Structure 1
Amino acid sequence: MAKRSITDEEIGLIKAMLARGMANKDIQFYFNRQDRAVNSGRITGIRDRSYGPEVPKAGDDALAAFIASFTAPPLAAPGLVVEAAPPTPPGVTDERVLRSFFTKDAEGVWRCSPGETDEFECKEGFSLRNFGKPLRTIAGFANNRGGYLFFGVKDKPHGFAVCGLADDRFTSTDQNKFSQVIRSVLEPTPRFRVASLKLDGLTVGVIHVEPHSAKPVIASRTEGEVAEGAIYFRYPGETKAICYADLRAILDERDQRSREAILPMVQRLLELGPKDAMVANLADGQLEGGDRPIIIDQQLVDRIKFIRDGEFDEREGAETLRLVGDVSAVDLSSVTTVKTVRTEVTEESIVRNFVGRVVVEEPLAYVRQASHEQSFLLPVFYYLHLAGQTRSEAIAVLRAHRNAKPNTVKEIIRRLQRQKTMFVKAGGMRLKRLNQIRERAVGQIVTTARAKEVMDAMTGLQEADADVFGYANELVGQCLEFWAEDRNLVTYIRKAASRLDELTYGPLVPE
């Protein structure tokens, strides 16, 4: 083995920093020296266990002591030290890495060398329609240390011999399809990579799953052998429901990370005192401090300058943010909350932000995400109104958008062209519920069955019912509380919200 430029002790400390969620550039600060550079690729290699996998993570006490005693190395005399940057380590699905897991025996048969462990699982065949067992394994890997799932490899009775996949279903399946299947059953969604490997003409399908940073991953619904609400964990050679001790360890680790993340902020608040400190609520854009909420007006945003380097009282050289411009009190009752699109837009956020009339920063991102969903039953006119888009402009955007679902795009365009509506004429029990909506006599919705009835009736609303649109919107908000409890109800909510959307905001989107 080639001599490492980083010591085992340093690797252990880097692993501890990665476990805390520190960024590569922040970790480099502690280990870069003039005579030895530690590039970001090396840290990534430690993260994915392709560099120093056998070195254990340093303990929290050891890391705390290292950071507390750390001093930047002094600069050497003027001169130039040149060192060739170490090669970037291969990724977890690099062919060289994957080949290292297979060996050919004396009879010329390729076999998976590790067999089935807490990081490796072998499946002989592949079918996305019968994906229950692989989903269990993916959840188990995500809740433990991550791992590899191989398709086209026989299990233990056959010595983990490579038999190869019988057809090209695995290699021809787009990764987005894998993502949709996994995302529909597991929450939070595990991070994974898909690859394939050729061994003497035999194809092995590969899914590598990363350990999730927000464990535990939980099954959100029943799918084949996956039970709703179950937490699966990967044990040596098998995936099964997690035992108490391992679940307790996951929860303790999560609590520890939360405490470590918040303690510096709490310490700073204690230093400043409640009179001189405020809390930035990134969810709604407010600075909160007792009875003194502050909102930055949109007109002032362009006049704010951020100074990266500066001085702040006794902390010389500390990074500072200065606001340059006029700041005045604002009546919060007249201010509309602005939310920034920071992460993945979900179907739930599309509906919730419509119901809450949240003014989002990137409304077209919500329209584009709607075109990725399996169903076209989502509010779109509200977001087009926010974006100031015409119907023809929106149609052009949807047609040019890659990777969207063709049928969903087709149906959304039909709605934009007024060829399709969410209106369904009410009769019988639906008409009775619709009249209750018109009379504002629905009352509090406390069961999913009641929610389905009300949402189903709401598709019968017409333009003449404009005086109850606000009340109907409140009813949708009540039903949203059951979103996670009943997936069947979700369809009813989407239909009701889409009908309200085309009634209230459809007329505001010009041709």
Structure 2
Amino acid sequence: MILHEGISEEFLDEFFSHVEDDVLNRRESYKVEFKETFEWNDKKVKSKYLRTMASFANNNGGLLIFGVSDSPRTIVGVRNFESIDDADISNGINDNFNQQIKFTRRTYETSGKTLGIIQIFESAYKPVVCIKDSHSMKENDVYYRYNSKSAKIGAGELRQIIDERVKSEREKWITLLNNIAEVGIDKVGFMNLDDGEIQFTGNKVLIDEELLSELKIVDEYSLEKGGAPALKLKGEIDSSAQIIKQPYVIQTEDIFKAFLNLTDIADPIQFIKTIVYGRTDTFPIWFLISKLGSTKKAVKKRLDQLRSHTIGYKMMLQRVEEDNTARKYKGKYSLTTGSRAHLRSDVLEKFYNKQEINYYDEEEARTLLEALSNINPNNIEFEQVQESLVNIFNKTYPFKKSAYNYLFRYTLTLIDYLYFSERVK
């Protein structure tokens, strides 16, 4: 079972093809664990989920599948898989481990029931270490996936992880030093892919942040210099050059960033696929689907290639036809009644007057988001709203309070609809 990239519909169709009378003829393994229910708000149960996620990350990755009962493996479905936000899972990981665990989440329909699936990816920086005591986990413990169970790692496996990491880093250093020696120390610069800074001897060069995501590794040097990789920056990539594509799973935050920055996405279908496999009703979709066509008919034709057994796919089609999901957030928070009405009204007035809007904590960010439910796109430019939302995303998201994470998503969904849905007739 190869799980280096996001789970495909074809993979799941094959995996769940072994079902007869709702009984799944599959066993748990070092790659798969089944759960009957999804109880993230139960701290004791959540601790077990996180322990399993860490054990998968410290091995080769794996799947947590919710909605399958034990003895026998029966498809029962799960009802509350979407009761939390991805940010809640990320917060749980950050609170309990020394590093982030990469995961993606989606639903799948089979036997007339909905399953929840979390795919956990192998960590690039093993080991993932627990940093505090929490029910089924202990501080400084490392968990590992053995056959069909997650347990505290043994000495042999831990030694193997450490040896592999040391070997990998040693090989990278040797390759780097050999390349430097070949090019010449005075001709070498170092590029930080996070901030776009390239350092040369006595000089610095900055690459515009918007261009960083467009950089590609051109493998033409591997044909001429014995496989030595080279990052070659060009205005245009020669069509004859080989492009090395790194496996990349689009996360919820990537969709938010793309919308907030209005990123020029070369392949919007890949982003839409993530939404279709997840929860469509709280995602900005119009800035993406407007790239697929200028009419609803054209958009639906493109979406047909994503046809799947997910609720998300059905909801996407419903929203394209008539987006009642986004509309229901319009005016959700009153400007005239309630103890917070005057606060929202004050914020909205600043938008209309093009005044600077500052906030200093989560509660003030909440007020700003609530105020935006009353915005009139004819009177306020998108750039004004965009600036405030980007600041919230960079400074406050994910919020400590789960409800505010949902409020942020609802706001993005509404703003996206108000400013971009008119592009598709």
TM-superposed CA distance for 1:458, in Å, is 1.3
* Alpha-carbon offset, residue 448 of structure 1: 1.8
Q: CA deviation at 1:166?
A: 4.2
In structure 2, do the counterparts of structure 1 residues 470 and 265 end up closer, same or farther at CA, with 3 Å as the change threshold?
same
Pair 1:341–1:241, CA change in 2 (3 A):
closer
> How does 1:401-412 map onto structure 2 within 5 Å?
401-403=306-308, 405-406=310-311, 408-412=312-316
- Separation of aligned partners in 1, 2:194 and 2:313: 30
Verify the 8 A CA contact 1:370 1:376 in the aligned structure 2. no
Partner residue, 1:474: 387
Task: Give the C-alpha shift of residue 352 in structure 1.
Answer: 0.7
Whole-angstrom distance in 2 between the partners of 1:446 and 1:502: 28
- Structure 1 match to 2:279: 374
Higher deviation after alignment, 455-464 or 408-417: 408-417
| Matching of residue 417 in structure 1 with residue 321 in structure 2 | yes
Cross-structure match for 1:393: 298
The C-alpha deviation readout for 1:280-339, integer Å capped at 9, x for no partner, is 6667999886555689x9xxx9xx99475336xxxxx5668799x998xxxxxxxxxxxx
What's the TM-score, normalizing by structure 1? Answer: 0.49
Alignment pair present for 1:434 and 2:348 = yes
1:235-250 residue pairs with structure 2 within 5 A? Answer: none
Per-residue CA deviation, residues 232-260 of structure 1 (Å, 9 max, x unaligned), is 53499998999xxx99x989986885565
Equivalent in the alignment of 1:504: 419
CA distance in 2, matches of 1:348, 1:382: 15
Residue type at the aligned position of 1:490: N
1:459-483 deviation line (CA, Å, top 9, x unaligned): 221222233x212111111111222
Aligned residue for 1:461? 375
Measured against aligned partners, the alpha-carbon deviations of 1:190-218 in whole angstroms (never above 9, x if no partner) come to 79xxxxxxxxxxxxxxx999974433547
Amino acid in structure 2 at the alignment position of 1:493: F
1:493 and 2:414 equivalent? no
On the 8 A contact 2:287/2:420 being kept in 1, the answer is yes
Distance verdict in 2 for CA 1:475–1:235, change over 3 Å: closer
Q: Is the 8 A contact 1:385 1:505 kept in 2?
A: yes
Deviation at 1:504, TM superposition (A): 2.8
Q: Quick one: which amino acid aligns to residue 456 of structure 1?
A: E
Partners of 1:369 and 1:233 lie apart in 2 by 31
Report the 3-state secondary structure (helix = DSSP H, G, I; strand = E; otherwise coil) of the residue aligned with 2:380.
helix
Structure 1 residues 412 and 165, CA gap change in structure 2 (3 angstroms): closer
1:436 maps to a residue whose letter is K
8 Å Cα contact 1:307-1:321 kept in structure 2: yes
Is the partner of 1:446 in helix, strand or coil?
Answer: coil
Distance 2:174 2:353 in 1: 52
Please state if 1:483 is matched with 2:389.
no
Give identity over the alignment, percent. Answer: 13
Amino acid at match of 1:448: E
Aligned positions of 1:174-185 closer than 5 A: 184=89
Q: Is the 8 A contact 2:344 2:371 kept in 1?
A: yes
Aligned to 1:364: 269
- Find the partner of 1:353 among 252, 258, 267: 258
Structure 2 CA distance for partners of 1:283 and 1:322, relative to 1, 3 Å = closer
With normalisation by structure 2, the TM-score equals 0.57
* Compared CA separation, residues 341 and 447, structure 1 to 2 (3 A): farther
| CA gap 1:216/1:166 in 2 versus in 1, 3 angstroms | same
Q: Structure 1 residues 173, 430: CA separation in 2 closer, same or farther (over 3 Å shift)?
A: same
Distance change (3 Å), C-alpha of 1:254 and 1:400? same
- Give CA deviations for 1:124-162 in whole Å, capped at 9, x if unaligned: x9532355464254145346568999x9xxxxxxxxxxx
**8 Å Cα contact 1:455-1:493 kept in structure 2:** yes
After superposition, the CA RMSD in angstroms is 5.6
Change (3 A) 1:272 1:417: same
- The alpha-carbon distance between structure 1 residues 281 and 438, as it changes in their structure 2 partners (threshold 3 A), is same
Distance 2:121 2:257 in 1: 30
Relative to structure 1, the CA distance from residue 344 to residue 127 in structure 2 (aligned partners, 3 Å threshold; closer, same or farther) is: same
AA aligned to 1:233 is V
Q: Are residue 233 (structure 1) and residue 233 (structure 2) matched?
A: no
- Which aligned pairs between 1:301-312 and structure 2 lie closer than 5 A? 306=220, 309-310=223-224
**Contact 2:102–2:120 (CA under 8 A) maintained in structure 1:** no
Change (3 A) 1:235 1:500: closer
Cα 1:189–1:322 change in 2 (3 A) is closer
Q: Is the 8 A contact 1:287 1:293 kept in 2?
A: yes
Task: Kindly state the Cα deviation for residue 372 of structure 1 after the two structures are TM-superposed.
Answer: 1.9
1:76-125: per-residue Cα shift (whole Å, max 9, x none)?
xxxxxxxxxxxxxxxxx9xxxxxxxxxxxxxxxxxxxxxxxxx99xx9x9
Name the structure 2 match of 1:24. Answer: none
Tell me the number of residue pairs that the alignment of Structure 1 and Structure 2 aligns. Answer: 328
- Provide the C-alpha distance between the structure 2 equivalents of 1:148 and 1:498, rounded to a whole number of angstroms: 31
**Aligned 8 A contact 2:284 2:416 in 1:** yes
Query: Matches of 1:145 and 1:320 in 2, distance apart?
Result: 27
